[in-house]
């Protein structure tokens, strides 16, 4: 078997390296170890038979959140990269209200339902919202993506989504924060192909916003009189600035690469005993 150094390095970047790391890879949510599920959130099986994280179900007046149980630890120039695929489906009364990716210092928090999208009222936080309902006066329309701070649901910056969020199709988002430049970028597509340019970007002192040496990462959602299933299909989070390309690796891919690590380790041990290691 030929294992490239690039492939090994890529997988090594994804694997937890210490108890402090918050590197997460969920190909699906048949196993939710490492996650704290709050409010009306639960795991579910969607119409395609996938085990998903249903942050809120298609029912009136729901609010839920899911956060990592292992905190990320802020340090100088803290950075992160994440990607996730989601789907809004089974809309009722027009579908609402959306999904928010959140970083904040409490794994148990659930914010306001309805237009609060499970995020409103969560202080010391940053939230990237995918909002499918127009709530006057703070929303520009019923289909937008925005960056929010400190539980405030008036997004700034904000932009109309290039895709209809309530279309029932899968969408993928990529969010990257470079602590050295304090640059936050959001990419969004209706496929697994990472866009070359960001849909939204802003500069922010993330550590200053969160105001705590430890924080948790995850999702919030909410429904009101209108509703939908707000499903996260898969999720990858890297506790470093390492922009992610396409889809979360399939289990078979992980098995191949983990086997590669075993082969590499054995080769290194043989080299230490006087052998030669060759990588192709």
What is the model's pTM?
0.83
For the stretch 213-234, pLDDT in tens is: 999 999 999 999 999 999 999 9
How many helices and strands in the chain, by DSSP H and E? 3, 16
Dist CA 138 CA 76 (whole Å) = 34
For tokens 């996260």, name the residue. 232
| pLDDT recorded at residue 221 | 98
| pLDDT recorded at residue 89 | 98
Residues in the chain, pLDDT under 50: 1-20, 251-280
| pLDDT recorded at residue 23 | 85
| pLDDT recorded at residue 75 | 80
For tokens 């108890």, name the residue. 19
| pLDDT recorded at residue 8 | 40
| pLDDT recorded at residue 247 | 65
CB 215 within 8 A of CB 74: yes
Q: Would you state the CATH architecture of domain 20-248? A: Sandwich (2.60)
Dist CA 109 CA 122 (whole Å) = 7
| pLDDT recorded at residue 141 | 98
Per DSSP (E only), the strands in the chain are 24-26, 35-39, 42-45, 51-56, 63-68, 72-73, 80-92, 98-104, 126-131, 144-149, 158-160, 171-178, 183-189, 200-203, 214-222, 227-238
């Amino acid at each position: 078997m030929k294992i490239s150094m690039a492939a090994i390095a890529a997988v090594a970047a994804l694997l937890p390296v210490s108890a402090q790391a918050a590197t997460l890879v969920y190909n699906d949510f048949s196993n939710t170890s490492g996650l704290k599920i709050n409010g009306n959130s639960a795991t579910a099986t969607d119409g395609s038979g996938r085990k998903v994280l249903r942050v809120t179900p298609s029912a009136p007046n729901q609010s839920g959140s899911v956060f990592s149980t292992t905190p990320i630890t802020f340090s100088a120039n803290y950075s992160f990269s994440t990607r996730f695929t989601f789907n809004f489906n089974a809309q009722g009364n027009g579908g609402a209200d959306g999904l928010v990716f959140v970083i904040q210092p409490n794994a148990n928090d659930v914010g306001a339902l309805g237009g609060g999208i499970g995020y409103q009222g969560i202080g010391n936080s940053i939230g990237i919202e995918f909002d499918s309902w127009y709530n006057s006066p703070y929303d520009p329309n019923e289909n937008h993506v925005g960056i929010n701070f400190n539980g405030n649901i008036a997004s700034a910056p904000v932009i109309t989504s290039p895709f209809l969020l309530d279309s029932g199709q899968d969408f993928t988002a990529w969010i990257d924060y470079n602590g050295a430049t304090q640059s936050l970028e959001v990419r969004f597509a209706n496929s697994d192909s990472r866009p070359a340019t960001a849909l939204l970007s802003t500069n922010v002192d993330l550590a200053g916003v969160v105001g705590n040496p430890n924080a948790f990462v995850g999702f919030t959602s909410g429904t009101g009189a209108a509703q939908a299933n707000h499903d996260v299909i898969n999720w990858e989070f890297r506790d470093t600035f390492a922009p992610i390309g396409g889809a979360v690796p399939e289990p078979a891919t992980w098995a191949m690469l983990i086997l590669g690590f075993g082969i590499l380790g054995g080769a290194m041990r043989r080299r230490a005993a006087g052998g030669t290691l060759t990588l192709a």
